[in-house]
């Protein structure tokens, strides 16, 4: 099972015309564990979650298989799961039981998603499919990577990390376990992050994606008004 836990609290106790906070977490590859023929399909890239403008539906985008080439298909032996747990807040000591959103893509002609045991939708890939009650809709297919980042070896995220690695070489930690940076060292990292011509380093790269709209009534339980979400990819038993 490949997994990442990217939790957030989406507030449903807000005005209908205000969107809740967004869960965004990212990496662009999990390394050797998922590198090799077919293993890239186990690699979760991003999970995004946010409220629609009406406050009635939660939008989810789960992307996987970074840099997916033309012709990439979903693995029919995998289950893509977005876990949700209703909570009263970030520190809820008794959150509601996990209500999973489970998707399986057997072929380009058959993709299906379930929300718990209450709602089900089925259809083909590269199209929007709806449940009979219209409370669930989903799209499965290869799309441009929605992640935006300025990331080069000299500038942006990559440049900043290179600057920090250079600065850390030979440094020792302070008693509290942290490193001490001089003003010049902090400025070097900041300049590397913001310098150069800013571009979307991921424009034109593609991922396999699952995009869903789920009515909040299917996810909230016990009168709770917040939602924690995380994602896993699981092998079918």
Domain range summary for the chain, segments of one domain joined by +: 2-148+203-235, 156-194
Q: Which of 227, 235, 163, 237 has its CA nearest to residue 194?
A: 163
Report the alpha-carbon distance of residue 132 to residue 136 in Å, rounded.
Answer: 8
Tell me if 135 sits within 8 A of 215, measured CB to CB. Answer: yes
The larger pLDDT score, comparing residue 237 to residue 132, is at 132
Q: Which of 76, 64, 59 has its CA nearest to residue 2?
A: 64
Q: Which of 204, 208, 231, 202 has its CA nearest to residue 63?
A: 208
Query: Confidence class of residue 18 from pLDDT cuts 50, 70 and 90?
Result: very low
Report the alpha-carbon distance of residue 196 to residue 222 in Å, rounded.
Answer: 51
Interval 41-68: pLDDT, tens = 888 889 999 999 999 999 999 999 888 8
Cα-based distances in Å from 34 to 3, 17, 28, 66, 73: 11, 41, 12, 11, 16
pLDDT at residue number 49 = 94
pLDDT at residue number 78 = 93
Cα-based distances in Å from 21 to 8, 56, 221: 8, 14, 20
When pLDDT is averaged across residues 122-126 and rounded to a whole number, the result is 97
Instruction: Classify 152 as helix, strand or coil.
Output: coil
Instruction: Classify 30 as helix, strand or coil.
Output: coil
When pLDDT is averaged across residues 171-182 and rounded to a whole number, the result is 88
pLDDT at residue number 31 = 53
Query: Confidence class of residue 30 from pLDDT cuts 50, 70 and 90?
Result: low
The larger pLDDT score, comparing residue 215 to residue 152, is at 215
């Amino acid at each position: 099972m490949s997994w990442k836990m990217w939790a957030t609290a989406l507030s449903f106790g807000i005005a209908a015309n205000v969107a809740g906070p967004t869960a965004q977490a990212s990496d662009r590859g999990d390394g050797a564990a998922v590198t090799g023929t077919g293993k890239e399909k186990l690699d979760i890239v991003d999970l995004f979650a946010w409220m629609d403008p009406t406050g009635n539906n939660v939008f989810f985008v789960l992307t996987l298989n970074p840099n997916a080439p033309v012709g990439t298909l979903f693995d029919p032996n995998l289950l893509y799961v977005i876990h949700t747990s209703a909570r009263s807040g970030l520190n809820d000591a008794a959150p509601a039981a996990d209500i999973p959103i489970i998707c399986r893509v057997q072929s380009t002609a058959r993709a299906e998603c379930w929300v718990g045991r209450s709602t089900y939708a089925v259809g083909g890939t590269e199209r929007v499919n709806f449940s009979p009650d219209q409370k669930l809709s989903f799209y499965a297919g290869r799309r441009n990577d929605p992640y935006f980042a300025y990331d080069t070896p000299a500038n942006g995220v990559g440049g900043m990390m290179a600057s920090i690695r250079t600065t850390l070489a030979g440094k020792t930690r302070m008693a509290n376990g942290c490193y001490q940076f001089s003003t010049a060292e902090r400025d070097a990292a900041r300049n590397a992050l913001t310098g150069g011509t800013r571009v979307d380093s991921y424009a034109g790269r593609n991922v396999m994606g699952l995009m869903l709209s789920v009515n909040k009534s299917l996810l909230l339980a016990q009168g709770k008004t917040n939602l924690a979400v995380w994602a896993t990819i699981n092998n079918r038993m």
